[in-house]
Amino acid sequence: MRKALVVTLAISIALASYAIWPFWSVYQLRQALKAGDLPAIDARVEWQTVRTSLRQSLLSRLAAPNSMRAPTGPVGPSPGSWRTMWRNVKSAITVSVVENTVDRLLTPAGLARLFAARETYRRDVLPSLGINKPKGPLNGTWLEGGRIERAVVQIKRLKAIDIISPTRVEMKVQTRYNPNRHYITVLQLKDYTWKLVGLRLLAQSTELSTELSPN
């Protein structure tokens, strides 16, 4: 009886540790970004797949409907064809800008700079615009602003989890300042490390079932 209890307890601890493991990896990545630890950042991100997923999500949100129709009237440009041509030009420019921006920022150094700039913007710029940091769930208590409150805030921002497989997890996360905006982080277990392998921005108030799609 005692042996069975020990085995059950050991299995329960192992399963709990496995369930917490991806979230601990996310925390480690955040700490690496905060510290500007480039080797640690590099070890926890699959850059090529993250670039591809983010690029695709940005383009799907920015690109306007674009259709090409064969001319049916007299030869020569019509107002409609000029509009179509201009849409094509704008689409090409948009694709180029997005691709260059993603490739430039999604590197260990680029991501660390982006994280630092975001923290500076939130700390210095937003308050000057009258936009204050949302109050935490432990506001007014002795735990306000501490690690426990930050952990609770992160848990509350996690809106859905999709376990694709034992080695792949997708999470829908709410942004801190806009509760109607969400993004999806994709984590995959590789070489005994949970790594960020995908990042997708979602349109406002979308459902996880229509947005999550494993690569």
pLDDT digits (tens, 9 = 90+) for 101-144: 888 889 999 999 989 998 888 888 888 888 777 777 777 777 77
Residue 195 clears pLDDT 50, i.e. is over it? yes
State how many domains the chain has.
1
Tell whether 195 is covered by a domain. yes
63 contact partners, CB below 8 Å, separation of at least 6: 91, 94, 95
pLDDT of residue 210: 38
Residue 87 clears pLDDT 70, i.e. is over it? no
pLDDT of residue 139: 76
pLDDT of residue 208: 40
> Which of 154, 156, 184 lies closest to 170 in space, CA to CA?
184
Q: Is the pTM of this model over 0.75?
A: no
- DSSP 8-state secondary structure symbol assigned to residue 175: -
C-alpha span between 182 and 211 (Å, rounded): 11
Of 12-26, 56-70, 124-138, highest mean pLDDT:
12-26
Find out whether 32 and 44 touch, Cβ atoms under 8 Å.
yes
Tell whether 144 is covered by a domain. yes
Strand-strand pairing, 193-201 and 168-174: unpaired
200 φ, ψ (degrees, to nearest 5): -130, 135
> Which two tokens mark 61?
């949100």
CA 159 vs CA 39, 103, 124, 172, 173: distances in Å: 30, 29, 28, 6, 6
Range of the domain at 27: 13-65+89-211
Tell whether 165 is covered by a domain. yes
Tell whether 80 is covered by a domain. no
